[in-house]
Amino acid sequence: MKPRTLFYGLAAGALVLSQVSSFLVNRSLEIGRTVQVFGPIHLTHVRNHGGIFGILQGHGWLFALVSCVILGLVVFWVHRTHFQHVLEYACFGLVVGGGTSNITDRWIYGSVVDFVDVHGIPHWNYIFNTADMLIHLGIWPLLIYGLIASRRRTEDVANNSEVGLP
Protein backbone atom coordinates (compact mmCIF):
# COMPACT_ATOMS: atom_id res chain seq x y z
CA MET A 1 0.00 0.00 0.00
CA LYS A 2 1.28 3.45 -0.87
CA PRO A 3 1.92 5.67 2.16
CA ARG A 4 -0.45 8.40 0.98
CA THR A 5 -3.17 5.78 0.45
CA LEU A 6 -2.68 4.78 4.09
CA PHE A 7 -2.87 8.46 5.09
CA TYR A 8 -6.16 9.05 3.27
CA GLY A 9 -7.59 5.67 4.27
CA LEU A 10 -6.97 6.29 7.96
CA ALA A 11 -8.22 9.88 7.68
CA ALA A 12 -11.46 8.65 6.09
CA GLY A 13 -11.81 5.80 8.59
CA ALA A 14 -11.24 8.14 11.53
CA LEU A 15 -13.79 10.59 10.13
CA VAL A 16 -16.43 7.88 9.63
CA LEU A 17 -15.83 6.26 13.04
CA SER A 18 -15.99 9.63 14.80
CA GLN A 19 -19.09 10.78 12.96
CA VAL A 20 -20.93 7.51 13.59
CA SER A 21 -20.14 7.77 17.31
CA SER A 22 -21.31 11.42 17.42
CA PHE A 23 -24.49 10.48 15.57
CA LEU A 24 -25.25 7.57 17.91
CA VAL A 25 -24.64 9.62 21.05
CA ASN A 26 -26.73 12.49 19.69
CA ARG A 27 -29.59 10.11 18.85
CA SER A 28 -29.56 7.93 21.95
CA LEU A 29 -28.44 10.09 24.88
CA GLU A 30 -30.01 13.37 25.94
CA ILE A 31 -27.65 16.29 26.45
CA GLY A 32 -26.50 16.29 30.07
CA ARG A 33 -27.42 12.64 30.71
CA THR A 34 -24.80 10.22 32.05
CA VAL A 35 -24.73 6.43 31.69
CA GLN A 36 -22.08 4.23 33.29
CA VAL A 37 -20.49 1.88 30.76
CA PHE A 38 -18.13 -0.01 33.08
CA GLY A 39 -15.97 0.93 36.04
CA PRO A 40 -14.88 4.55 35.76
CA ILE A 41 -16.00 4.88 32.12
CA HIS A 42 -19.23 6.81 31.57
CA LEU A 43 -21.01 8.28 28.59
CA THR A 44 -22.07 11.86 29.30
CA HIS A 45 -23.53 13.81 26.39
CA VAL A 46 -22.25 17.39 26.45
CA ARG A 47 -21.74 19.99 23.77
CA ASN A 48 -18.49 21.89 23.42
CA HIS A 49 -19.03 25.31 21.86
CA GLY A 50 -15.39 26.22 22.42
CA GLY A 51 -11.98 24.65 21.99
CA ILE A 52 -9.88 21.97 23.61
CA PHE A 53 -10.81 21.41 27.27
CA GLY A 54 -13.77 23.73 26.72
CA ILE A 55 -11.75 26.95 26.50
CA LEU A 56 -13.26 30.05 24.88
CA GLN A 57 -16.85 28.79 24.96
CA GLY A 58 -19.02 30.40 22.29
CA HIS A 59 -16.12 30.81 19.87
CA GLY A 60 -16.47 27.49 18.07
CA TRP A 61 -16.36 29.26 14.70
CA LEU A 62 -12.83 30.44 15.54
CA PHE A 63 -11.68 26.91 16.32
CA ALA A 64 -13.34 25.59 13.16
CA LEU A 65 -11.55 28.22 11.07
CA VAL A 66 -8.16 27.64 12.70
CA SER A 67 -8.65 23.86 12.42
CA CYS A 68 -9.46 24.13 8.70
CA VAL A 69 -6.27 26.11 8.09
CA ILE A 70 -4.12 23.72 10.14
CA LEU A 71 -5.62 20.61 8.53
CA GLY A 72 -5.17 22.13 5.08
CA LEU A 73 -1.51 22.78 5.86
CA VAL A 74 -1.05 19.23 7.16
CA VAL A 75 -2.55 17.72 4.00
CA PHE A 76 -0.37 20.00 1.85
CA TRP A 77 2.71 19.05 3.89
CA VAL A 78 1.96 15.32 3.64
CA HIS A 79 1.86 15.70 -0.14
CA ARG A 80 5.11 17.66 -0.29
CA THR A 81 7.12 15.57 2.17
CA HIS A 82 8.59 12.11 1.90
CA PHE A 83 8.55 10.86 5.47
CA GLN A 84 11.13 8.43 6.81
CA HIS A 85 8.60 6.00 8.21
CA VAL A 86 5.09 4.88 7.22
CA LEU A 87 4.07 5.48 10.86
CA GLU A 88 4.18 9.21 10.14
CA TYR A 89 1.63 8.90 7.32
CA ALA A 90 -0.62 6.78 9.54
CA CYS A 91 -0.42 9.21 12.46
CA PHE A 92 -1.11 12.25 10.31
CA GLY A 93 -4.09 10.41 8.82
CA LEU A 94 -5.58 9.91 12.29
CA VAL A 95 -5.00 13.58 13.17
CA VAL A 96 -6.60 14.82 9.93
CA GLY A 97 -9.57 12.46 10.24
CA GLY A 98 -10.19 13.36 13.88
CA GLY A 99 -9.79 17.08 13.24
CA THR A 100 -12.12 16.92 10.25
CA SER A 101 -14.69 15.11 12.38
CA ASN A 102 -14.67 17.84 15.03
CA ILE A 103 -15.15 20.46 12.29
CA THR A 104 -17.97 18.35 10.85
CA ASP A 105 -19.61 18.18 14.31
CA ARG A 106 -19.56 21.97 14.48
CA TRP A 107 -21.13 22.17 11.03
CA ILE A 108 -23.84 19.55 11.65
CA TYR A 109 -24.65 20.09 15.35
CA GLY A 110 -23.40 23.64 15.94
CA SER A 111 -20.87 22.33 18.46
CA VAL A 112 -18.62 19.35 19.11
CA VAL A 113 -20.43 16.32 20.54
CA ASP A 114 -18.39 15.10 23.52
CA PHE A 115 -19.31 12.02 25.52
CA VAL A 116 -16.39 9.99 26.92
CA ASP A 117 -16.35 10.74 30.63
CA VAL A 118 -13.71 9.07 32.83
CA HIS A 119 -14.41 9.28 36.56
CA GLY A 120 -11.99 8.75 39.42
CA ILE A 121 -8.96 10.63 38.09
CA PRO A 122 -7.96 13.43 40.48
CA HIS A 123 -8.27 16.92 38.95
CA TRP A 124 -9.73 15.47 35.73
CA ASN A 125 -13.17 16.66 34.72
CA TYR A 126 -12.89 16.67 30.95
CA ILE A 127 -15.28 14.96 28.59
CA PHE A 128 -14.04 14.15 25.10
CA ASN A 129 -15.02 12.24 21.96
CA THR A 130 -13.76 9.63 19.51
CA ALA A 131 -12.18 12.29 17.29
CA ASP A 132 -10.17 13.63 20.22
CA MET A 133 -8.91 10.12 21.03
CA LEU A 134 -7.86 9.57 17.42
CA ILE A 135 -6.10 12.94 17.30
CA HIS A 136 -4.12 11.96 20.40
CA LEU A 137 -3.50 8.49 19.00
CA GLY A 138 -1.84 10.26 16.06
CA ILE A 139 -0.02 13.09 17.84
CA TRP A 140 1.68 11.19 20.67
CA PRO A 141 3.43 8.56 18.51
CA LEU A 142 4.56 11.38 16.18
CA LEU A 143 6.06 13.28 19.10
CA ILE A 144 7.76 10.19 20.53
CA TYR A 145 9.05 9.13 17.11
CA GLY A 146 10.29 12.68 16.46
CA LEU A 147 12.17 12.76 19.77
CA ILE A 148 13.76 9.36 19.14
CA ALA A 149 14.71 10.27 15.57
CA SER A 150 16.13 13.61 16.73
CA ARG A 151 18.18 11.92 19.45
CA ARG A 152 19.54 9.41 16.93
CA ARG A 153 20.52 12.19 14.53
CA THR A 154 22.28 14.03 17.37
CA GLU A 155 24.12 10.85 18.38
CA ASP A 156 25.11 10.18 14.75
CA VAL A 157 26.52 13.70 14.40
CA ALA A 158 28.41 13.33 17.69
CA ASN A 159 29.80 9.93 16.67
CA ASN A 160 30.89 11.25 13.27
CA SER A 161 32.60 14.23 14.93
CA GLU A 162 34.51 11.93 17.29
CA VAL A 163 36.08 9.96 14.44
CA GLY A 164 36.95 13.08 12.50
CA LEU A 165 34.27 12.77 9.82
CA PRO A 166 32.76 15.97 8.45
Q: What are the residue numbers of the active site?
A: 114, 132
Query: For the chain, what is the largest distance between any 2 Cα atoms, rounded to a whole number of angstroms?
Result: 68
> How much of the chain is in helix, strand and coil states, percent to nearest 5?
65, 15, 20
- As a whole number of Å, the CA-based R_g of the chain is 19
Q: Are strands 34-38 and 41-48 parallel, antiparallel or unpaired?
A: antiparallel
- Going by the DSSP 8-state scheme, the letter that residue 32 receives in this structure is T
Report the distance separating Cα 136 and Cα 15, nearest Å.
14
